[in-house]
A and B are shown apart, each in its own frame.
Chain A
Amino acid sequence: MKTFTSIILIAGLALLVHLYLPFWWLIAITSVLVSYILGENTWKSFLSGFVAIFILWLVLTGFIAFQNEFILSTRMTEVIKLPHSSLLFLLTALIGGLVGGFSSLTGYYLKTMKSIIL
């Protein structure tokens, strides 16, 4: 349950970052924050961050591309020389997922470190 809550929170906060803040990578800070509070273990922390941002970016880019009638995603697939358009979405989501996963894990490790100090 905690993992599910983490995913929702990480994705939700990241969406707010995307809507209102200028730098995309600020999603790392919100992910750290969520896992610092809710992180359970190494794998679950990484996974919740990864899955949250992966899915968020997939949905966001899918939403944009659909409204854009796939004009730009088709052209950019060719620019980046990907064999299929779907890979452009997956590559984007993967980048987001990695940043989400690693930052979420960092948040969890910060928490475990702190509990020792305390």
Chain B
Amino acid sequence: MKKLRFLILLFITIALIIALNISIKGLPAFGLLLNPTTGFWANAEIEKFYLPKEAVLDKLKEKTEVYFDENRIPHIFAENEHDLYFIQGYIVASLRLWQMEFQVIAAQGRISEILGNQEKYINFDKSQRRLGLVYGAKNKLKALEEDKLAKDLLGAYKDGVNAFIENLDDKNLPLEYKLMGYKPEPWTNEKTMLVIMNMSKILANMGDDIENTNFVAQYGKDLFDKMYKTDLKIEPVIPTPNKGWAIEKEDSMQKEISSQKPPIAIGAKSQKSKAKLSKTKNKPTYHIGSNNWAVSGTKTKSGFPLLSNDPHLGFSLPSVWIEMHLVGPQSNAYGVTFPGAPGITIGFNEKIGWGMTNSGRDVKDFYTVEYKDATKELYHYQNQWLKSEFVYEEIKIKGAESVFDTVIYTKYGPVAYTDFQTQNGKYDIAIQWMPHRASKEYLMFYMLNKAQNFEEYKEATRYFESPAQNMVFACVDGDIALRNQGKFPVQKYEQGKFLQTSNEGNVWEDFIPFEANPMQHNPKRGYVSSANQESTDASYPYYYTGWFEHYRNRVINNELEKMTQATVQDFKDLQMNNFNLIAFEALPLLLPYIDNTKMDFAHQDIFNALSKWDCYNNKDSKEAIYFEFFFNNYKTLLWDEFGDGMVAPNTVQTLELLKDSIAHPFIDNKTTNVVETQKDIINKAFNMAINESKEYENKTWGDYNEVTFAHVAKIDAFSRKVHAGGNNHIVNATRGTFGPSWRMILDFDKGEVNGIGVYPGGESGNPGSKYYDNFVDDWANEKYHRLENNKDKEFYKKGNYTRVVFLGK
């Protein structure tokens, strides 16, 4: 009896402990998660520094020191480049391991393995694999590893990350691993490549080929040309040089190609399909963008250049950026980088500074694949039958059986969509995408980190092929420059705008030569600037299409033009500029249509307010709310016909159509029985805005513009919200979940580079640390930090820094 009762109790106790240590029905294991030793409590940062002050690491060659400032920004001092990259990998992992691995797992299309058996996760994984992110990463890695230096540096970074992972115990495992119940895998060079593929997916993955083709099939090319004009309001990144474009003689043939018209795989107008069109998945939102500019000494108070960059990316916690200072034997670079990307991505050294904005030039073409038969084993290519390459993808799922998917690879690239419904019928659609190609982007960052002058900057950019960027430059010797850098195919006229067929054989073979990429070096006007607008005007000899911004660039240029004695403060003010150029141009077009004869007082008030508005989306503006509602309603009512399969004209096109009173069949709202005119829908949009704004009667634009920094895995409790001025298409492009993800200003005064900057986030990826989000409030309050790039260790020894020493064996 007593034996039995002992055995029962023993069984209960053991069962209880086991139950507390395993995950049941997707819930975390409560004992593992809640116990004070190794549970989440261990991630609550207390006074003790988060790393041991001294550590011995096998693969380290020499003693390497790291000084952390009071915001936990690391200053790494290494005796050789191997150690510099090794310790960078180690430190980034120590601050952001979960984030850096999770973004790679997402790129690999493996989130179902972590997040479980839900259709949306499995579909995401499938679409990631069909986009071929791993395929591109492998191609790039192969190219980079042919270069001994690059291979060594990538290897050092990887080893550093792994040295941190190997030293992790249950206690120090980042919180998200504990919550989701998994452990980190070893880092690889391929994962480092996937970081850049992730950026390509965000920045170079646009493509309206299918939607444009649908539009032409239904409404014809004439209407398309009228409604989707591309040469509107141009103030290009690179104005046409006085002496013309630098094109070598042997390129004249390629130049000619650009004026040829390709056969377009668009059907006749009669082929109207009533089928529900498929939605092109995986398209990036167009809110991404960025600003950068530099002015030469002729326009500054100090007589030396100033440089500014604020890349706009999706807001998240942890932030997409991590800030650091890397001092090696021949280098001293400060700035931000992506967790998982070696070196500094945007920043400066002792001589030069550089920054990026995205170039929206189209580098993704779509092809309908014509197979010989249902087996899909052969496809038509220039009147031959080529063999399809079948790649079998196993998608593992947490708590369920694996799902399998077959991805077909053609000469162009992977079949991204199968059985895709377009206006012309159902097709398998293959993509040809520049980021799939072998290239060596990391070499550019390595060289930029050390570059000393304009020539070295230009030479470094040679290695950067995708995602194409507008790279701004300034130097202590007074040079400023801006380069539209990437690798671009030589395209026929309008190639890439519409669906092509696999049989046409338009595999990119000719590329625009490096020397012909648009660039400006010390222009007469005394400044360079870019804000995602067209790279050039139509005089550029090569054809390209793409996704461009038409407002921020004009506001920036207007301000820069006026500057004669520019200071850092002027640059801050311009980064925070809330002038709403869309409103400024749209209101004079829209308001005259409003029938103000039979208005009640509320209508009259808002009408008057908008008529007199200075068009600044400042935090305290009320008019900004009215305009936002009014204009959004107008676009919604106007473009109500555009569902999943087509893309409505953008804002600048919309306003030009209104300005020129161009007739088109979309003005009429299809949901009503009467035929509307522009006047009808503008008045309707206005009335709707009045009703909607009642909810915000005592509120301002700042109340309305809630900015969310969502946790990378969308855990609400680890997210933050603030309120801010700005909007999309405003220089201060802060809106909702997008905006300036890093604000940097560099001053090249008297042979030194002095920087200030801030990003909304924090150095630590640990939600249990006060360094997780401590920059969010600074960012929201427009507060910048000094970017300390002193290369003298003694400076840090004396100052308020925490020293961590790493020793080799």
Residues of A within 8 A of B (CB): 17-18, 22-25, 28, 57, 60-61, 64-65, 67-69, 71-73, 75-79, 91-92, 95-96, 98-99, 102-103, 105-106, 109-110, 112-113, 116
Report which residue of B34, B35, B36, B716 has the largest number of chain A beta carbons within 10 angstroms of its beta carbon: B36
Question: How far apart are the CA atoms of A68 and B36 in the complex, in Å?
Answer: 13
Q: Is the CB of B13 within 8 A of A102?
A: yes
Q: Which residues of B contact A78 (CB under 8 A)?
A: 716-717
Q: Is the CB of B44 within 8 A of A71?
A: yes
Q: Which residues of B contact A116 (CB under 8 A)?
A: 2-3
Partner of A22, one of B10, B16, B46, B170: B170
B285 at the interface (CB under 8 A from A): no
Beta-carbon nearest neighbor of B46 in chain A: A67
Q: Is the CB of A64 within 8 A of B31?
A: no
B464 at the interface (CB under 8 A from A): no
Q: Which residues of A contact B169 (CB under 8 A)?
A: 22
Partner of A68, one of B30, B32, B46, B715: B46
Q: Is the CB of B770 within 8 A of A18?
A: no
Beta-carbon nearest neighbor of B4 in chain A: A113
| Also in contact, A64 and B770, with CB within 8 A (given A22-B169, A72-B43) | no
Q: Is the CB of A24 within 8 A of B13?
A: no
Q: Which residues of A contact B43 (CB under 8 A)?
A: 72
Smallest CB separation, B501 vs chain A (Å): 51
Partner of A106, one of B6, B20, B170: B6
Q: Is the CB of A109 within 8 A of B715?
A: no
Smallest CB separation, A34 vs chain B (Å): 14
User: Is chain A's interface secondary structure helix, strand, loop, or mixed overall?
Assistant: helix
Q: Is the CB of A106 within 8 A of B179?
A: no
Q: Which residues of A contact B44 (CB under 8 A)?
A: 64-65, 67-68, 71-73
User: Could you write out 22 A-B pairs with CB less than 8 Å apart?
Assistant: A22-B169, A22-B170, A24-B35, A28-B17, A57-B35, A60-B36, A64-B46, A67-B44, A68-B45, A68-B768, A69-B770, A71-B45, A72-B44, A72-B175, A77-B717, A99-B13, A103-B13, A105-B9, A106-B6, A112-B2, A112-B6, A113-B5
Beta-carbon nearest neighbor of A94 in chain B: B34
Question: How far apart are the CA atoms of A44 and B419 in the complex, in Å?
Answer: 71
| Also in contact, A22 and B41, with CB within 8 A (given A67-B46, A71-B770, A102-B13) | no
Beta-carbon nearest neighbor of A60 in chain B: B36
Question: How far apart are the CA atoms of A106 and B43 in the complex, in Å?
Answer: 32
Smallest CB separation, B719 vs chain A (Å): 10
B687 at the interface (CB under 8 A from A): no
Q: Which residues of A contact B170 (CB under 8 A)?
A: 22
| Also in contact, A18 and B6, with CB within 8 A (given A24-B31, A61-B41, A75-B718) | no
Smallest CB separation, A32 vs chain B (Å): 8
Beta-carbon nearest neighbor of A17 in chain B: B37
Q: Which residues of A contact B17 (CB under 8 A)?
A: 25, 28, 99
The 9 closest A-B pairs by CB, nearest first: A72-B768, A78-B717, A24-B35, A68-B44, A67-B46, A109-B6, A72-B44, A60-B36, A102-B13
| Also in contact, A92 and B41, with CB within 8 A (given A25-B17, A78-B716, A113-B3) | yes
Residues of B within 8 A of A (CB): 2-3, 5-6, 9-10, 12-13, 16-17, 20-21, 30-32, 34-41, 43-47, 169-170, 175, 179, 715-718, 767-770, 772
Report which residue of B2, B34, B40 has the largest number of chain A beta carbons within 10 angstroms of its beta carbon: B34
Q: Which residues of A contact B32 (CB under 8 A)?
A: 24
Q: Is the CB of A67 within 8 A of B770?
A: no
Q: Is the CB of A113 within 8 A of B6?
A: yes
Smallest CB separation, A106 vs chain B (Å): 4
Q: Is the CB of B9 within 8 A of A102?
A: yes
Q: Is the CB of B36 within 8 A of A95?
A: no
Known: A64-B36, A79-B718. 20 other contacts (CB 8 A): A24-B31, A24-B35, A24-B36, A28-B13, A57-B35, A65-B44, A68-B768, A71-B45, A71-B768, A71-B772, A72-B41, A72-B45, A79-B715, A95-B34, A96-B35, A102-B12, A102-B13, A105-B9, A106-B10, A106-B13
Question: How far apart are the CA atoms of A98 and B31 in the complex, in Å?
Answer: 11
Q: Is the CB of B31 within 8 A of A75?
A: no
Q: Which residues of B contact A95 (CB under 8 A)?
A: 20, 30-31, 34-35
Beta-carbon nearest neighbor of B767 in chain A: A75
Question: How far apart are the CA atoms of A90 and B45 in the complex, in Å?
Answer: 21
Question: How far apart are the CA atoms of A92 and B44 in the complex, in Å?
Answer: 15
| Also in contact, A64 and B41, with CB within 8 A (given A75-B717, A79-B715, A106-B13) | yes
Beta-carbon nearest neighbor of B38 in chain A: A24
Q: Is the CB of B13 within 8 A of A79?
A: no
Q: Which residues of A contact B40 (CB under 8 A)?
A: 72, 76
Q: Which residues of A contact B38 (CB under 8 A)?
A: 22-24
Q: Which residues of A contact B3 (CB under 8 A)?
A: 113, 116
Question: How far apart are the CA atoms of A92 and B36 in the complex, in Å?
Answer: 8
Q: Is the CB of A99 within 8 A of B16?
A: yes
Report which residue of B10, B12, B13, B169 has the largest number of chain A beta carbons within 10 angstroms of its beta carbon: B13
Beta-carbon nearest neighbor of B36 in chain A: A60
Question: How far apart are the CA atoms of A117 and B38 in the complex, in Å?
Answer: 39
Q: Is the CB of B20 within 8 A of A99?
A: yes
Beta-carbon nearest neighbor of B12 in chain A: A102
Question: How far apart are the CA atoms of A106 and B716 in the complex, in Å?
Answer: 41
Smallest CB separation, A10 vs chain B (Å): 14
Smallest CB separation, B69 vs chain A (Å): 20
Question: How far apart are the CA atoms of A10 and B21 in the complex, in Å?
Answer: 21
Smallest CB separation, B401 vs chain A (Å): 29
Q: Which residues of B contact A92 (CB under 8 A)?
A: 34-36, 39, 41
Question: How far apart are the CA atoms of A109 and B170 in the complex, in Å?
Answer: 33
Q: Which residues of A contact B179 (CB under 8 A)?
A: 79
Question: How far apart are the CA atoms of A21 and B45 in the complex, in Å?
Answer: 20
